[in-house]
């Protein structure tokens, strides 16, 4: 694992601390006031915050611009970069630009297809996938060489991240159906990203902690937790509509029946409160799973709830 402490997130993980990250979606407009306000709510509670890159294939303020706004608000950004919209020239150029501007944390994703977003007729690029770009980024950083073979001076300084979905096929949802063979496929996919250069990984939403624990056991069997920092994705559900949309439209999200019953069993006005309570419980449980290095708190739009969630989970520590 990386031992150089050139950032808050990298330093906490390198020191063996339990890291906390969150996420901000840039606005659909040419302003950064909203990002600065949200970053201000999260400052002091999280180590770093993801700035999404045209999330869901919807046009929004550029991730690099949102990352600069987060920095201006006194918080460390994690700039997301998707391969959907850029060829290898643009991807490498963006990585150089981010490093030059002091953006060190870069989360690499393949990205959703444009047909899922607000410009369904847009031409997808996908020149590289996330694993291929991770490998290229690592070579740029460690060897100072572009994919073309030309030398870089200076090389970028970047802490490379990836995403992983422990619950998507080939594994089936539900802890009782997650056998060793099924988990091997997902852990093996993570292994390829780690081999390519991923130093930290944020997972998809974890609602079924027992199923996640099975996946983490396979991750430990492969020794991946010693080569990469695993941050469990924890969601704070705000409404029954959000829960139903997530379960139906977000690949790999499995919401156990017990969780659904809890949220449906309270008045509509209290669903967000119960969702935050569930998030707190999930954080407490995943902290006990060996190999988990932190949590990625998915509470976009509910930034004000983050302090209560983390305090309830016993994570009110100086950051």
pLDDT digits (tens, 9 = 90+) for 94-108: 999 999 999 999 999
124 located within any domain: yes
Pairing of strands 19-24, 200-205: unpaired
108 located within any domain: yes
> Can you read off the two tokens belonging to residue 30?
């040419």
Supply the CATH number for residue 141's domain: 3.20.20.220
222 located within any domain: yes
CA distance 262 to 257: 9
Taking the model in full, what pTM does it have? Answer: 0.91
Predicted pLDDT at 182 = 45
- Give pLDDT tens digits for 80-92: 999 999 999 999 9
Give the domain extent around 166: 8-238+273-312
212 located within any domain: yes
134 located within any domain: yes
Residue numbers in the chain where pLDDT is lower than 50: 2-5, 172-183
Predicted pLDDT at 315 = 87
CA distance 7 to 104: 7
- Give Cβ neighbours of residue 267 (< 8 Å, ≥ 6 apart): none
Predicted pLDDT at 252 = 76
Predicted pLDDT at 184 = 57
**How many domains does the chain contain in total?**
1
CA distance 199 to 2: 7
109 located within any domain: yes
- Give Cβ neighbours of residue 159 (< 8 Å, ≥ 6 apart): 2, 6, 7, 9, 10, 104, 105, 106, 199, 200
DSSP conformation class of 151:
B
Predicted pLDDT at 50 = 97
CA-based end-to-end distance of the chain:
21
Predicted pLDDT at 175 = 39
1 located within any domain: no
2 located within any domain: no
Distances (CA, A) of 219 to 100, 166, 232, 270: 34, 10, 13, 37
φ/ψ (deg, to 5) at 170: -80, -5
CA atoms within 13 A on the CB side of 216: 24
């Amino acid at each position: 694992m990386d031992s150089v402490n050139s950032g808050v997130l990298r330093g906490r993980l390198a020191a063996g601390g339990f890291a906390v990250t969150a996420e901000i979606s840039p606005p659909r407009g040419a302003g950064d006031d909203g990002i600065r306000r949200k970053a201000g709510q999260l400052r002091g509670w999280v180590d770093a915050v993801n700035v999404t890159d045209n999330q869901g294939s919807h046009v929004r303020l550029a991730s690099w611009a949102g990352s600069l706004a987060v920095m201006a608000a006194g918080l460390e950004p994690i700039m997301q970069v998707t391969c959907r919209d850029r060829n290898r020239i643009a991807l490498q150029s963006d990585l150089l630009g981010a490093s030059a501007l002091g953006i060190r944390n870069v989360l690499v994703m393949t990205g959703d297809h444009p047909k899922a977003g607000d410009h369904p007729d847009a031409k997808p690029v996908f020149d590289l996938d996330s694993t291929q770009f991770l490998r290229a980024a690592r070579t740029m950083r460690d060897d100072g060489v572009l994919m073309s073979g030309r030398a870089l001076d200076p090389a970028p300084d970047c802490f490379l991240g990836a995403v992983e979905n422990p619950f998507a096929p080939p594994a089936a949802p539900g802890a009782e159906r997650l056998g060793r063979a099924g988990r091997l496929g997902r852990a093996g996919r993570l292994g390829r990203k780690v081999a390519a250069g991923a130093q930290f990984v944020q997972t998809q939403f974890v609602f079924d902690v027992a199923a996640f624990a099975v996946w983490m056991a396979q991750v430990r069997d492969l020794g991946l937790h010693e080569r990469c920092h695993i941050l469990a994705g924890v969601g704070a559900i705000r409404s029954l509509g959000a829960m139903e949309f997530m379960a139906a439209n977000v690949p790999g999200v499995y919401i156990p029946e017990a969780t659904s019953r809890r949220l449906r069993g309270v008045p509509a006005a209290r669903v967000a409160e119960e969702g935050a309570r569930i998030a707190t419980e999930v954080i407490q449980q995943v902290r006990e799973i060996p190999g988990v290095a932190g949590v990625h708190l998915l509470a976009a739009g509910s930034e004000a709830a983050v302090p209560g969630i983390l305090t309830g989970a016993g994570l009110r520590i100086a950051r």
